[in-house]
Amino acid sequence: MSSVSVSVESPPTARRRVAGAVVASLVTGVLTALTPAPAAQAAAPVLLSQGRTATASSTEAAPFGATAAVDGDLGGTRWSSQWQDGQWIQIDLGRTAELSRAVLTWEAAYGKSYQIQASDNGTDWRTLTTVTAGDGGTDDLALSGSGRYVRMNGLTRGTGYGFSLWEFQVYGTTEGDGGGPTLPGGGDLGPNVHIFDPSTPGIQTKLDEVFRQQESAQFGAGRHAFLFKPGTYNGLNAQLGFYTQIAGLGLRPDDTTVNGDVTVDAGWFNGNATQNFWRGAENLALAPVNGTDRWAVSQASSFRRMHVKGGLNLSPTGYGWASGGYIADSKIDGQVGNYSQQQWYTRDSSIGGWSNSVWNQVYSGVEGAPATGFPEPKYTTLDTTPVSREKPFLFHEGGELKVFAPAKRTNARGVSWSGTPQGESVPLTRFYVVKPGATAATINQAVQQGLHLLFTPGVYHVDRTLEITRPNTIVLGLGLATIIPDNGVTAMRVADVDGVRLAGFLIDAGPVNSPTLLEVGPQGASADHAANPTTVQDVYLRIGGAGPGKATTSMVVNSDDTIVDHTWVWRADHGEGVGWETNRADYGVRVNGDDVLATGLFVEHFNKYDVEWYGERGRTIFFQNEKAYDAPNQAAIQNGSTKGYAAYRVDDSVTTHEGWGLGSYCYYNVDPTIRQDHGFKAPVKPGVKFHSLLTVSLGGNGHFDHVINSTGAPTEGTATIPSTVTSFSG
């Protein structure tokens, strides 16, 4: 766009009662698992198995898979085999390790005799120790040997049930990426994370100081996060500039109340808010001074887990243009004033009302949302969101910082925090706190070691791909932490594992072309992640703007069941390093995985296709797009016999796909005579359905001949009036 109390899910009901001695041993096991590894000597053994890939000879039933024995949830989840002897469970540690200890925490169904074995290849096994008279409880076994794979090879059962483990923990040492000592978890968050409590002096002064630095620093290097401990703060006006995050540190928004405002306006840009990008507000209760808070933003600005005790105005002072935006898991007691916002998506929230529509306002799971009226008024409303899982966030409890990872919801409606928040609390000691200067090798070592990642505000150059290989790993950025790939590498790659959570950071392409910037799952990924999907939330990708950058395809989603929840994937149309070939980027987002859901998908200005979808049963709720402004002529975007590349293309091989509230706009200001055959392209099949589609020509600079395929009227004239298709189906 340019100037135009924690609760964890209940254990399965099929679980059998555990003897008191076993429960006591579980408590000891929990303390052992959560104690951070010492930072001193390289030889200190660490927990190697947690979150690793685990497989088993069999499972008793679906809830009792092998990964449950390495998830760190002692007494909550478990692996159990079929009810017969001769069963095994094995763990891939990710690399060869010197093994020192195995801790097996048995459920009531235990192993009477079994072996602990190691292997370098997962095929050829050597026995490290044998237990012949097991009696259940917790077995803490000394090991001597090495291997990448470790197996409990169960010989005979101690009961009539199968082999059943709450947790299988393996300890040892690895050299790490490049060697060096074991990395510590936790620590301070650096100088650009500003943590306040109600007694902190000079809060307003600090807010104002950072705002002066960040108000117009659209492509600057400053990054900041303001974190407020639970309590009440009076008389504050937190004005947010670029790369600034404000958040409460309570478990619920109402734990941290600001009697004042969190404000985004557009005075720096003469009252035009269409470039108010890259900022966020989370987990606060606001009581606005005049009854209405102002949040005049555009892309890449999230408003999550907020409680506004009044109204919310989405336009800048003077009602200039704005091009946002995104609200999730929030409660606005009064009315949301849309005013000049061209498009907006609101998910799983509660609002007192909504004022009007411009081009494309979409709601899913929102109490108080207006009914669908598309094409006039331009509202598209879904009663629920099919699947959602809120973004992880920091909170303060018992004198320490932790990260709360909310639970998955299906058919969600309203906020997730109206009762007891459901999810997992993870202490900061289980995170590697990434600070400017950290190398990719060190970051990868932290992941291999079993730590989550917390990126503090800053800009990070990586000379190799960040590999997120462990299931359930959290990668959380503060203050729009920014990752830049050097030498044409892919910035981040996620393995085909369960439950990875990527949230709150920006990937900025480097000057040497990267084939991809972010890959979720490897090519050919096929594992089922429906029960525990990977989520990508407030993760933004940028090519150019802060300087020359190139990437062939920005984001590739290969893993099934992935949820992409609010992203802006942007080939820059202004700033430094901008030009048809200077910041060349042919493709924005490519989806190969099945059952992928996108909620709040913003993708703009790519040289060819902005979105391509190859996976089955894909769904998109809200899509906003602008075609590349800077196409030099018609020939530059000619796609065979087709004029232009669709903004959103579903491959002809796909049989089932659905989308709600999708818009594409063109502004060919270099050559206003350019025409696009259509904004959207999809196969004509019964399972392919779209609702509320629109194309817009901004001021008559280029035009669309159709909306989707050959359906929909052409855009005409200079009046910027959308062409719409209410429903499309084969």
- Contact criterion met (CB below 8 Å) for 640 and 619: no
Short-list 87, 74, 85, CA closest to 137: 74
How many whole angstroms separate alpha carbon 263 and alpha carbon 211?
11
How many whole angstroms separate alpha carbon 103 and alpha carbon 113?
15
Tally the C-alpha atoms within 13 A of residue 697's C-alpha that lie toward its C-beta: 26
Average pLDDT over residues 682-688: 98
How many whole angstroms separate alpha carbon 670 and alpha carbon 327?
34
How many whole angstroms separate alpha carbon 237 and alpha carbon 78?
49
Strand partners, 80: 164
Q: Could you tell me the pLDDT band of residue 28, with boundaries at 50, 70 and 90?
A: very low
Q: How would DSSP label each residue in 659-723? A: EEEEEEEE---S-TT-EEEEEEE----TEEEEEEEEEEESTTSSEEEEEETTBSPPP-SSS---E
Given this model, what pLDDT does residue 46 score?
84
How many whole angstroms separate alpha carbon 453 and alpha carbon 431?
5
Asked if residue 14 has pLDDT above 70, the reply is no
562-611, pLDDT tens digit by residue?
Answer: 999 999 999 999 999 999 999 999 999 999 999 999 999 999 999 999 99
Given this model, what pLDDT does residue 38 score?
34
176-215, pLDDT tens digit by residue?
Answer: 444 457 899 999 999 999 999 999 999 999 999 999 999 9
Given this model, what pLDDT does residue 120 score?
87
What type of residue sits at position 608? K
33-84, pLDDT tens digit by residue?
Answer: 333 333 333 446 888 998 888 899 999 988 899 989 998 888 889 999 999 9
**Catalytic (active-site) positions:** 626
538-547, pLDDT tens digit by residue?
Answer: 999 999 999 9
Asked if residue 423 has pLDDT above 90, the reply is yes
How many whole angstroms separate alpha carbon 488 and alpha carbon 471?
27
Q: What is the mean pLDDT of the chain?
A: 92
What type of residue sits at position 183? L
Distance of CA 149 to the CA centre of its chain: 30
Given this model, what pLDDT does residue 555 score?
98
Lowest-pLDDT choice from 19-28, 376-385, 405-414: 19-28
Q: Could you tell me the pLDDT band of residue 346, with boundaries at 50, 70 and 90?
A: very high
Q: Could you tell me the pLDDT band of residue 160, with boundaries at 50, 70 and 90?
A: very high
Lowest-pLDDT choice from 31-40, 123-132, 393-402, 601-610: 31-40
- Contact criterion met (CB below 8 Å) for 498 and 529: yes
Average pLDDT over residues 74-95: 92
Percent of the chain with pLDDT over 70: 93
Average pLDDT over residues 438-457: 95
Average pLDDT over residues 303-332: 97
Given this model, what pLDDT does residue 59 score?
92
How many whole angstroms separate alpha carbon 22 and alpha carbon 27?
9
Average pLDDT over residues 296-305: 98
Average pLDDT over residues 151-157: 97
DSSP 330: -
Given this model, what pLDDT does residue 33 score?
34
- Contact criterion met (CB below 8 Å) for 458 and 224: no
Asked if residue 18 has pLDDT above 50, the reply is no
List, in sequence order, every beta strand (DSSP E) within 231-371: 231-239, 244-248, 256-263, 279-282, 285-286, 292-294, 301-304, 307-308, 311-313, 326-328, 331-337, 343-354, 360-367
Overall pTM > 0.85: no
3-state helix, strand, coil in the chain (%, to 5): 10, 45, 45
Q: Could you tell me the pLDDT band of residue 174, with boundaries at 50, 70 and 90?
A: confident
Strand partners, 665: 626, 696
Average pLDDT over residues 352-369: 97
Q: How would DSSP label each residue in 367-424? A: ETPPPP-TTSS-EEEESSEEEEEPPPEEEEETTEEEEEEEPEEEEE-S-TTSSSPBEE
Asked if residue 27 has pLDDT above 90, the reply is no
Q: How would DSSP label each residue in 175-215? A: --TT--SPPPPB----TTEEEE-TT-TTHHHHHHHHHHHHT
Given this model, what pLDDT does residue 175 score?
62
Given this model, what pLDDT does residue 228 score?
98
Asked if residue 427 has pLDDT above 70, the reply is yes
DSSP 445: H
Given this model, what pLDDT does residue 480 score?
98
Short-list 117, 184, 189, CA closest to 153: 117
How many whole angstroms separate alpha carbon 657 and alpha carbon 729?
10
Average pLDDT over residues 158-173: 95
Average pLDDT over residues 280-298: 98
Short-list 230, 208, 297, 246, CA closest to 480: 246
Given this model, what pLDDT does residue 44 score?
67
Lowest-pLDDT choice from 91-100, 473-482, 521-530: 91-100
Q: Which two tokens stand for residue 390?
A: 């809120």
Distance of CA 379 to the CA centre of its chain: 26
Average pLDDT over residues 7-13: 28
How many whole angstroms separate alpha carbon 288 and alpha carbon 695?
37
Given this model, what pLDDT does residue 601 score?
98
Average pLDDT over residues 315-326: 95
- Contact criterion met (CB below 8 Å) for 297 and 338: no
The radius of gyration of the chain from alpha carbons, rounded to an integer in Å, stands at 26
